[in-house]
Amino acid sequence: MNSVHIYWDEYKGVMIDEQERDIYIRDIPQKWLPRICDLMVENSFRTNRLYDQLKIHDIEGVEESYRHCVNHVLHNECSIMVIDEETNEIYGVALLKWMSKEWRSWTIWLQMFDTLLLFSEFMLLSRMLVLKYDEEHPEHEPNSLHLFEYYLHPTLNDDPVFMHKFFYSILEVARHMLMPRVSFVAALLDQQQQAEAFGFHPLSHLIYSLVEDDGVRTFQSLRDIGEMYMVLYEYPVEPIIPFYNMPPPHPYDEEDRLKHEPHTKLDGEDNALSEMDSTRRSLSKLVIK
């Protein structure tokens, strides 16, 4: 039996690594999850400038903790990838997970970490930012499709046309998951600029140098590399319109209009209709005889 894939968008004829390619934004097959996890470790975790500045890469066992997080998100089956299907080269990944109050999603996220590790402290800053905003704004609906992390090939990351397709695809995933919004905590300045260029709305900021634990400001060194804060963003998503409520694809012609619009009777039309009915009944009697 052939598996069915979900394609969210395409970008044809883009030059990547000096070769013209047709790439697709689509779902991730179950059998590819280990490969996606390896790719995120290699291209996102190991190259993260925040982790490098905080020397998180030097912590023993931290890579396995990161893999655990990635696998947890991937098994939610919402994440998407960017792929050249001719070569099966993957040029991007967005780690997406359905987060809801009913399923206590952020509580489960907390339980995944050893809070004594610096890596865990940093990863839980996003959770703290989300929950703090919801606490301060009780009218805010917390359920969302959350973008935990994304990696893109540098060529695509610098391409505004592709970035629009990429973020719009994430909105479409949320729409089809019946989620009312996409949320995203951008930890890096370039991610914040990309999110705002697309139209994400900033809700709350967390300044790294003000985060204090037992009198120690663990993350204040990030300002030395120009990273001052992380930002919680949100993008509302319009619900899918049921098929039976959709407008027609083109205006009605006169015949369709008469079929769909309420009929307005003209003067004398009732008498004419009565005469027609009488004639039909007379003809029926003739046939019966």
Per-residue pLDDT tens for 28-52?
A: 999 999 999 999 999 999 999 999 9
Instruction: Kindly tell me the burial class for residue 57, based on how many C-beta atoms sit within 10 Å of its own C-beta (0-12, 13-18, 19 or more).
Output: middle
- Any long-range contacts for 64-71 (C-beta under 8 Å, 24+ apart)? 65/113, 65/114, 65/117, 65/119, 65/120, 66/40, 66/41, 66/119, 67/37, 67/41, 68/112, 69/112, 69/123, 69/148, 70/36, 70/37, 70/40, 70/41, 70/95, 71/33, 71/37
Answer left, alpha or beta for residue 97, where phi above 0 means left and psi between -120 and 50 means alpha: beta
Residue 181 and residue 201 in contact, taking contact as beta carbons nearer than 8 Å = no
Please tell me the distance from the alpha carbon of residue 112 to that of residue 103, in angstroms, as a whole number: 15
| Confidence at residue 264, expressed as pLDDT on a 0 to 100 scale | 52
Is a pLDDT exceeding 90 seen at residue 278? no
* Mean pLDDT computed over 80-107: 95
Answer left, alpha or beta for residue 176, where phi above 0 means left and psi between -120 and 50 means alpha: alpha
Q: Looking at the domain covering 7-243, what would its CATH class be?
A: alpha beta
Distance spanning both ends of the chain, measured CA to CA: 63
Mean of pLDDT over the chain: 88
Please tell me the distance from the alpha carbon of residue 104 to that of residue 6, in angstroms, as a whole number: 28
Q: Write the DSSP symbol of residue 85.
A: T
Residue 270 one-letter amino acid: D
Is a pLDDT exceeding 70 seen at residue 288? no
The two tokens of residue 114 are 């050893």
| Confidence at residue 283, expressed as pLDDT on a 0 to 100 scale | 39
Highest mean pLDDT among 7-11, 244-248, 258-262: 7-11
Does residue 278 sit in helix, strand or coil? helix
Confidence of residue 215 (pLDDT cuts 50, 70, 90): confident
Please tell me the distance from the alpha carbon of residue 161 to that of residue 25, in angstroms, as a whole number: 13
Is a pLDDT exceeding 60 seen at residue 284? no
Q: What is the largest CA-CA distance in the chain?
A: 106
The two tokens of residue 24 are 């697709």
pTM score: 0.83
Does residue 137 sit in helix, strand or coil? coil
Look-up of token digits 């634990």: 213
